[in-house]
Amino acid sequence: MNNLKHSKKGFSVLLSALLLSLSFLSFHIPANRIPEAQDGIRQNTIFDIFVRYTDQTGERAALGVIHDLDYHIYWDMNMMSLRTDAEGLAKLSAHDSIASIEHSKEYNGLPQTSNLSGDPSSPTTPISSAAKIKQGQWGYNEVEAADAAQAGFTGKGVKIAILDTGVSEKSGLKISGGASTVAGVSSYEDDNGHGTFVAGIIGAKGKAYKGVAPDASLYAVKVMDKDGNGSTETLAQGLDWAIRQHMDIINLSLSFPQESPAIDDLLVKAKEQGITVIVAAGNNGTADGSGDTLAFPAKSPETITIAAVDSDLHRAAFSGTGSEVELAAPGVGIVSSSTSGKYKVGDGTSVAAPFVSGMVAVLKQADPTLTPDQVRSALRNSTTDLGTAGRDPQYGYGLISFDRLLDDLAK
């Protein structure tokens, strides 16, 4: 991503080349420096952008250039996402009350999930036999999820927003509500399977297995389509929905390659509103666990980034690594829910993240006043160290477990 900054002094001279690439750019504007739009572009080109404004004059200017009445105002942030054409972009670029313009970026967020079948089109493998289902329960047993339920902690009364491909009503999961921010899709019904699998790890109540927080209130926020495609705009609107609806936890089992200031600001806003945000570390790790392979939003300081381990408690070969990795959770050969109502087994850091979201729900049930920083500290203190002693880029502070967490809750 390149940054484009220049004075509006040259507005009448420089209208020739740059808007051809603006759909890939994000730029931020220091005081009194406004980027200019350029001429020499097809007038029917439409741009999806985030606009930051300093006052109501800027807000009115943004509303004045929207295309097809397609826009979204973010709560208490002086920010709007909208569609506009080249002329509208030029007007905003030249306006004194427009602080910044950022172009929405498209991405495919589903490389977060690996799979056992080897079929890249399917994040999970269908299973039917009792033996395979039992084998896929190892992760729930490892974190001692049943102990939490026996102690009366099931996440009851805690609201979790799952920003993903939606959640299927055929899965048997109880969905408390939700929304879709995907263009042309009004339902949060899952037409991919990824979001349903993630949700099942938290909230399943089936006979074969129970989720980590089976009584938590699950909210399906569809920010990716049937192919796992999304954008920073659909994600931003999903985050805004979760903030407005006063969620306690946001689960983000997705990633995108380039940083988005708009997403960063919304994650800050979520934390300010007391929301704990759990993020998958991604599946771009190297076999030997070397290097920084994390993407966004796993790199955000406002999120808690989760790596994946296998049943031997070794780092999964695909699990992303980097200094922002904070915790590890089961992420290989895990049983969960599917859009057909049957069970599936899947791998990925997407699978690991909801284990932690469920644990946070238990914490919030025990003490609803906990802040995101207090939740973070409690999770760190409950881990079993893995890998190099202390925090490391492969496992963070180590494997989550309800064992020590319940001891702390009992005090």
Per-position DSSP letters for 138-149, written without gaps between them: HHHHHTTHHHHH
Pairwise CA distance, residues 113 & 362, whole Å = 25
In DSSP terms, 251 is beta-bridged to 162, 278
The pLDDT assigned to 117 comes to: 33
The pLDDT assigned to 377 comes to: 96
- Tell me the pLDDT tens digit for each residue of 131-154: 888 899 999 999 999 999 999 999
In DSSP terms, 180 is beta-bridged to 222
The pLDDT assigned to 206 comes to: 85
End-to-end CA distance of the chain: 49
Q: Are 95 and 58 in contact (CB under 8 A)?
A: yes
pLDDT surpassing 50 at residue 114: no
CATH fold for domain 108-410: Rossmann fold (3.40.50)
pLDDT surpassing 70 at residue 112: no
Averaged pLDDT score across all residues of the chain: 87
CA distances from 82 to 47, 69, 240, 266, 267 (A): 8, 8, 15, 16, 20
- Average pLDDT of 122-129? 57
Helix/strand/coil (H, E, C) string of 105-130?
A: CEEECHHHEECCCCCCCCCEEECCCH
Q: What is the separation of C-alpha 34 from the centre of its chain, rounded to a whole number of angstroms?
A: 31
Q: Where are the beta strands (DSSP E) in 14-167?
A: 26-28, 46-53, 71-74, 79-85, 98-103, 106-108, 113-114, 124-126, 159-164
pLDDT tier, 44 (very low <50, low <70, confident <90, very high otherwise): low
- Tell me the pLDDT tens digit for each residue of 145-187: 999 999 999 999 999 999 999 999 999 999 999 999 999 999 9
Active-site residue, selected from the candidate residues 48, 164, 190, 215: 164
The structure tokens listed for 398 are 């180590």
The pLDDT assigned to 405 comes to: 85
Question: For the chain, which residues make up each domain, given as ranges?
Answer: 8-103, 108-410
The structure tokens listed for 337 are 């829910």
Sequence-separated (6 or more) residues with CB below 8 Å from residue 113:
123, 124, 194, 197, 253, 283, 346, 347, 348, 349, 350, 351
H helices, E strands: number in the chain:
11, 18
164 is catalytic: yes
Active-site residue, selected from the candidate residues 190, 194, 248, 260: 194
307-346 burial, b at 16+ Cβ within 10 Å, e below that, comes to bbbbeeeebbbbbbbbebbbbbbbbbbbbbbbbeeebbbb
Higher-confidence residue of 37 and 280: namely 280
- Tell me the pLDDT tens digit for each residue of 192-226: 999 999 999 999 998 888 999 999 999 999 999 99
pLDDT surpassing 50 at residue 25: no
Using a pLDDT cut of 70, give the percent of the chain over it: 84
- Tell me the pLDDT tens digit for each residue of 66-85: 998 889 999 999 999 999 99
Higher-confidence residue of 5 and 66: namely 66
pLDDT tier, 124 (very low <50, low <70, confident <90, very high otherwise): low
The pLDDT assigned to 4 comes to: 35
Q: Are 248 and 160 in contact (CB under 8 A)?
A: yes
The pLDDT assigned to 125 comes to: 59
pLDDT surpassing 50 at residue 26: no
Q: Where are the beta strands (DSSP E) in 334-378?
A: 334-337, 343-348
129 is catalytic: no
119: left (phi over 0), alpha (psi -120 to 50) or beta: beta
The length of the chain is 411
Active-site residue, selected from the candidate residues 26, 100, 260, 350: 350
pLDDT tier, 108 (very low <50, low <70, confident <90, very high otherwise): confident
The pLDDT assigned to 407 comes to: 77
pLDDT surpassing 60 at residue 16: no
72 is catalytic: no
The pLDDT assigned to 403 comes to: 86
Could you tell me whether strands 124-126 and 98-103 are parallel, antiparallel, or unpaired per DSSP bridges?
Answer: unpaired
In DSSP terms, 159 is beta-bridged to 217
pLDDT surpassing 90 at residue 34: no
- Tell me the pLDDT tens digit for each residue of 249-302: 999 999 999 999 999 999 999 999 999 999 999 999 999 999 999 999 999 999
pLDDT surpassing 80 at residue 40: no
Q: Are 157 and 226 in contact (CB under 8 A)?
A: no
Among 55, 88, 56, which residue's Cα sits nearest to residue 69? 88
